[in-house]
């Protein structure tokens, strides 16, 4: 099972040297990948008294592709993972271009996690349709894969038209792994048909086992081998007591997890150095 660290951007600050040092420390500890969240706009809650979202305009979010373009040159082995880019609120060809550029600059270390998001405020600000985001994301994934595979393409979909045009440069493998986040039944079916992997960030319960079994059944119905679909759960020590860490990881191993990421946000840590020390402790305790 490959091990990753969640970049603690809500608590990271904006010092580029500290961010560089964090990424290099994660790599130096032997983590396989770094994972980053995505939000473009934060909602001001002073005019939204009923706001219930987990983030607002006060939440710090570095832009994933720009940050990874920087870290691609500061690291050598870390896989650079987005989990998740809110795909339907972004222009599809531009996402494909940005992901390909990170892949080139990093020597083929890009993994693109995508999802449909929950924040209608962002969609409004980015002039995209919140209502059709799920089904539209499927066409987006198809278009990105077509753009990554060939120098020029012709593509005619419900929302996208490209006439004999393409990206340059192309990603190193002429493909970038696309993983999908979310928990609805429609999302599970989408992962089964289209995804290279899924981010099930919930405990390894019987309910989650049943979801994975349905995922595998949908994959077989689509003519795919379920074993080819990766699973990356998340261990969040803020929510999982220290005495339960090992059991949590074993539970996910039993469910077939191929990857695991550790999220150190929300623990009251005051600097990236403290996040590094906490990652070191958790990794050592898990023996990974």
Distance of CA 48 to the CA centre of its chain: 28
Q: Which domain holds residue 211?
A: 2-286
At 74, which helix (H) or strand (E)?
Answer: none
Residue 149, CA atoms < 13 Å, CB-side half-sphere: 10
For position 251, what pLDDT does the model report? 98
CB 80 within 8 A of CB 32: no
Q: What percent of the chain has pLDDT over 90?
A: 100
Low-confidence ranges of the chain (pLDDT < 50): none
For position 176, what pLDDT does the model report? 98
Nearest to 237 by CA among 275, 271, 272: 275
Q: What is the C-alpha to C-alpha distance for residues 136 and 155, in angstroms, rounded to an integer?
A: 15
Q: Which DSSP symbol is given to 244?
A: G
For position 213, what pLDDT does the model report? 98
Q: What is the C-alpha to C-alpha distance for residues 278 and 204, in angstroms, rounded to an integer?
A: 23
For position 98, what pLDDT does the model report? 98
Q: Phi/psi of residue 163, each to 5°?
A: -110, 105
Q: What are 207-249's pLDDT values in tens digits?
A: 999 999 999 999 999 999 999 999 999 999 999 999 999 999 9
Q: What is the C-alpha to C-alpha distance for residues 226 and 252, in angstroms, rounded to an integer?
A: 16
For position 265, what pLDDT does the model report? 98
**β-strand pairing of 234-235 with 230-231:** unpaired
Total domains in the fold of the chain: 1
Q: What is the C-alpha to C-alpha distance for residues 265 and 250, in angstroms, rounded to an integer?
A: 22
Q: What are 253-267's pLDDT values in tens digits?
A: 999 999 999 999 999
Q: What is the C-alpha to C-alpha distance for residues 252 and 223, in angstroms, rounded to an integer?
A: 25
- The 3-state DSSP class for residue 276 equals helix
Kindly give, in sequence order, each residue whose CB lies less than 8 Å from that of residue 208, ignoring residues fewer than 6 positions away: 200, 202, 255
First to last CA, the chain: 9
Provide the whole-model pTM: 0.97
HEC secondary structure over 36-49: ECCCCCCCCHHHCC
Q: What are 146-169's pLDDT values in tens digits?
A: 999 999 999 999 999 999 999 999
At 279, which helix (H) or strand (E)?
Answer: helix 272-286
DSSP, residue by residue, 94-116: HHHHHHHHHHHHTTS-EEEEEE-
E strands in the chain? 2-6, 33-36, 79-86, 110-115, 153-156, 161-165, 178-181, 197-199, 230-231, 234-235, 259-262
CATH number for 85:
3.20.20.30
């Amino acid at each position: 099972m490959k091990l990753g660290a969640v970049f603690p951007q809500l608590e990271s600050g904006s010092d580029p040297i500290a961010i560089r040092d964090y990424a290099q420390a994660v790599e130096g500890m032997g983590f396989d990948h770094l994972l980053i969240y995505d939000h473009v706009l934060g909602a001001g809650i002073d005019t939204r008294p009923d706001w219930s979202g987990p983030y607002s305009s006060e939440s710090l979010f570095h832009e994933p592709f720009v940050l990874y373009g920087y870290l691609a040159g500061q690291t050598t082995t870390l896989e650079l993972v987005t989990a998740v880019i809110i795909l339907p609120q972004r222009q599809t060809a531009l996402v494909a271009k940005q992901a390909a550029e990170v892949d080139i600059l990093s020597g083929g270390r890009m993994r693109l996690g995508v999802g449909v998001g929950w924040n209608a405020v962002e969609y409004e600000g980015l002039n995209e349709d919140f209502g059709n985001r799920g089904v539209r994301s499927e066409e987006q994934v198809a278009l990105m894969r077509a753009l990554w595979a060939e120098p020029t393409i012709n593509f005619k979909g419900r929302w996208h038209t490209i006439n004999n045009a393409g990206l340059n440069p192309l990603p190193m493998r002429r493909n970038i792994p696309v993983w999908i986040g979310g928990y609805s039944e429609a999302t599970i079916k989408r992962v089964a048909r289209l995804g290279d992997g899924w981010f099930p960030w919930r405990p390894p319960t019987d309910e989650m086992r049943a979801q994975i079994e349905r995922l595998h059944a949908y994959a077989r119905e689509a003519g795919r081998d379920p074993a080819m679909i990766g699973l990356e759960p998340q261990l969040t020590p803020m929510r999982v007591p220290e005495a339960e860490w090992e059991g949590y990881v074993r539970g996910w191993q039993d469910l077939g997890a191929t990857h695991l990421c550790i999220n150190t946000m929300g623990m009251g840590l005051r600097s990236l150095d403290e996040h590094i020390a906490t990652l070191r402790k958790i990794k050592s305790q898990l023996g990974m």
